[in-house]
Amino acid sequence: MTETYKVQRWTSRSIVSTALIAALQFALLAAPFVFSANVVDHLTTLFVYVVLAITWNALAGYGGLVSVGQQLFFGFGAYGAIRLSQAGVPVYAALALGGVGSAVLALIVSSFMLKLRAGEFAIGMWVLAALVQLLVSLDPIIQGATGTSLLALNSFAPAARRADTYWFGLVAMAGVALLLFLLLRSRLGAAMQAIRDNEEAARSVGVRVQLAKRIMFVLAALGAGMAGAVWLATSISFQPNTYFGVQWTAYMIFMTLVGGIGTFEGPILGAVLFFAVEAAFGAEGVWYLIGIGAAAVGFALLLPQGIWGWMERRYALRLLPVGYVLKLQGVDAGRQHGFARRSVPPPPAAMRISEQS
Amino acid sequence: MSLLLEANGLVKRYGALAVVNGVDFRVAENEAVGIVGPNGAGKTSLLNLLSGAVPVSEGRIALRGAIITGQDAAWRCRHGIGRSHQVPKPFGGMTVFENLLVAATQGGGFIQHEAYDRAVDSLELCGMLSAANRSAETLGLLERKRLELARALATGPELLLLDEIGGGLTDGEALDLVEVILDLRRRGIAIVWIEHIVHILVKVVTRLVCMDAGRIIAEGDPQSVLKDPVVISAYLGSEEVV
């Protein structure tokens, strides 16, 4: 090595911002003691949106797996919680396990869905979601389109239920976000981005494409399932048409596109914006939906990198960095304009054919 | 020199068309083999079969005597077969340095500081250190070609399959490239290099293979192959080319 270098993954600014975000999460634990019931309910809704946005972004923005069927896992998380609760599992454990159930379902369906490419995968996921919705509707407990309720939650006093559901949502959001952040900063995260950019080239540099896709797919399903379980805990009632509705994925796409696809911070910003827009204009009915759709189209055409993506490029903002920056000292600039004449180390002996399976 | 890679009876068909048709090919440790031939001869298709990018229709491939015909490109890379692509395929959403880190960690199995060292070394060798933090999608064609080579090197290959990496280089850059590849050979890396710029190819390779219509039509010492009337007729058109 003729140059000294260091690899920077954190800056002082990103350390401070990450610490502040972590501190905010801890501070939010106190919200049920401080804020009104209405605010606590709204914050719980926001947590659901954040989880949906960051997991869809991880799947599509980092993994290149554009799905319009993530409502499958949202609905299945809620359905699983109802089933487990009726089987006698304590209700909040049932809710958490419902989310895990979506991850298990994703692991199973990944064996055939991940063989599909691009548009086939996107539409195939939607079809699969509709199929599972029909199967869930056939469950006698669900009573078709009528649905059912998570009756076990009625044994809690309203204030206690609200606070417990809030904390469940907060922990689910923080847990999923932390898991994704660590994953995206890992070697696997970089491999996923390589697959997104060029699957053939990723394979040619040794990336286990199917394994990497499967991990991201399962993790995204875990997030959507947890979000569905939290939503069930807030509303108590479950109707297949609502929980398996494609509007959930439409929300995920909107939040990710507006915030900034392929950035870690963007979808969080997108979720906050969506939450604010819904609070301000949600009562407008169909015009609200038209406005949301028009905004999504506008961002896709005019600001495809989203608000955070634009800010990141304009101001080099990285509050939660997942990439690598090479800092060099003593670079011989004259050698930067051609192939330099020097040696690289020999190939390592440890990885050779003896590993063959 | 012991045999590193051996392929026998390779055939690749797309419907009724055989783009590679009964090719036997071998590379010894630390050997440098050049492949030439007219467009459509099956050179890149052969490289795709050797790297595992596409499955063979018939035939078998062995690495150090172990059959690897059924293994995919990722497996082959992790076991020492690196490659560059004729049309560069950068990871456009990542920086140049991150492109190499993926290769070093996934293909090379290097971890953390080993991977950083490997990536920096490969960047330096290919003259791309100053572009390390640039987004790969902003690179021009020549830089993309350098990135292809650097990324393949970062996987720590024993055998490097190069597909027309000299195309578009100036004479000076091409000579620098020759030095780089000779350096790789000195480090024990075997090379298979498809190239149309024959005069730089023959400075590196010790054996030359000429393909036409999916078959090998001549093979041996580079100067002998280039004087072969069959090669002149099918590819060169004139002995004056070299």
Residue A1 pLDDT class (50, 70, 90 cuts)? low
Distance from CA of A92 to the nearest CA of B (A): 40
Residue B51 shares a structural domain with residue B168:
yes
> The domain that contains B70 carries what CATH number?
3.40.50.300
Across the range B186-209, mean pLDDT stands at 92
Q: Which residue has the higher pLDDT, B210 or A334?
A: B210
Q: What is the pLDDT of residue A329?
A: 77
Task: Please determine, for residue B72, whether its predicted confidence score (pLDDT) is greater than 90.
Answer: yes
Task: Please determine, for residue A355, whether its predicted confidence score (pLDDT) is greater than 80.
Answer: no
Residue B204 shares a structural domain with residue B221:
yes
Token pair belonging to A139: 């469950």
Residue B161 shares a structural domain with residue B211:
yes
pLDDT in tens, B134-161: 999 999 888 898 899 999 999 999 999 9
Residue B62 shares a structural domain with residue B125:
no
Residue B121 shares a structural domain with residue B6:
no
Across the range A322-337, mean pLDDT stands at 65
Q: Which domain holds residue B178?
A: 1-80+157-242
Which of B47, B51, B121, B129 would you mutate first to test chain A, the one with the most A CBs within 10 A?
B129
Residue B10 shares a structural domain with residue B127:
no
Q: What is the pLDDT of residue A341?
A: 38
User: Which of B156, B176, B200 represents a domain boundary (last residue)?
Assistant: B156
Task: Please determine, for residue A345, whether its predicted confidence score (pLDDT) is greater than 50.
Answer: no
Q: Residue A351: inside a domain, yes or no?
A: no
CB contacts < 8 A (A, B): 197
Q: How many residues does chain A have?
A: 357
Cβ of A331 within 8 Å of Cβ of B110? The answer is no
List helix spans (H) across chain A. 12-28, 31-34, 37-57, 71-86, 91-113, 118-137, 158-185, 187-197, 199-204, 209-235, 240-243, 247-259, 266-281, 286-302, 306-315
Token pair belonging to A125: 């996921």
Q: Residue A356: inside a domain, yes or no?
A: no
Q: Which domain holds residue A277?
A: 14-322
Domain count, chain B: 2
Q: What is the pLDDT of residue B175?
A: 84
User: Which of B132, B156, B180 represents a domain boundary (last residue)?
Assistant: B156
pLDDT in tens, A66-121: 999 999 999 999 999 999 999 999 999 999 999 999 999 999 999 999 999 889 99
Sign of CA dihedral B27, B33, B37, B40: positive
Q: Residue A179: inside a domain, yes or no?
A: yes
Q: Does B158 touch chain A (CB under 8 A)?
A: yes
Across the range A27-52, mean pLDDT stands at 95
**Closest Cβ opposite residue B97 in set A203, A324, A339:** A324
Cβ of A339 within 8 Å of Cβ of B153? The answer is no
**Closest Cβ opposite residue A193 in set B94, B127, B131:** B94
B146 vs A contacts (CB less than 8 Å): 339
pLDDT in tens, A131-170: 999 999 999 988 888 888 888 888 888 899 999 999 999 9
**Closest Cβ opposite residue A191 in set B102, B151, B173:** B102
Residue whose entry in the numeric block shows the structure tokens 């880190």: B101
CA–CA gap between residue B4 and residue B31 (Å, rounded): 9
Q: Does B140 touch chain A (CB under 8 A)?
A: no
Residue B138 shares a structural domain with residue B164:
no
Residue A334 pLDDT class (50, 70, 90 cuts)? very low
CA–CA gap between residue B18 and residue B14 (Å, rounded): 6
Residue B189 shares a structural domain with residue B199:
yes
Q: What is the pLDDT of residue A339?
A: 45
pLDDT in tens, A176-216: 999 999 998 999 999 999 998 999 999 999 999 999 999 99
Across the range A322-348, mean pLDDT stands at 56
Residue B234 shares a structural domain with residue B175:
yes
Domain count, chain A: 1
User: Which of B111, B138, B156 represents a domain boundary (last residue)?
Assistant: B156
Residue A305 pLDDT class (50, 70, 90 cuts)? confident
Cβ of B79 within 8 Å of Cβ of A326? The answer is no
Q: Which residue has the higher pLDDT, A83 or A264?
A: A83
Q: Residue A341: inside a domain, yes or no?
A: no
Residue B171 shares a structural domain with residue B225:
yes
CA–CA gap between residue B133 and residue B199 (Å, rounded): 34
CA–centroid distance for B228 within its chain: 24
Q: Does B107 touch chain A (CB under 8 A)?
A: yes
Contacts with A, B 21-60, CB within 8 Å: 51, 53
Q: Residue A48: inside a domain, yes or no?
A: yes
The per-residue DSSP string of B127-159 comes to T-GGGTTSBGGG--HHHHHHHHHHHHHHT--SE
Q: What is the pLDDT of residue B240?
A: 56
Residue A331 pLDDT class (50, 70, 90 cuts)? low
Q: What is the pLDDT of residue A2?
A: 53
> The domain that contains A140 carries what CATH number?
1.10.3470
Residue B93 shares a structural domain with residue B207:
no
Percent of chain A whose pLDDT exceeds 70: 91
Residue B43 shares a structural domain with residue B74:
yes
B106 vs A contacts (CB less than 8 Å): 187, 191, 194, 202, 205-208
Q: What is the pLDDT of residue B180?
A: 86
CA–CA gap between residue B56 and residue B37 (Å, rounded): 21
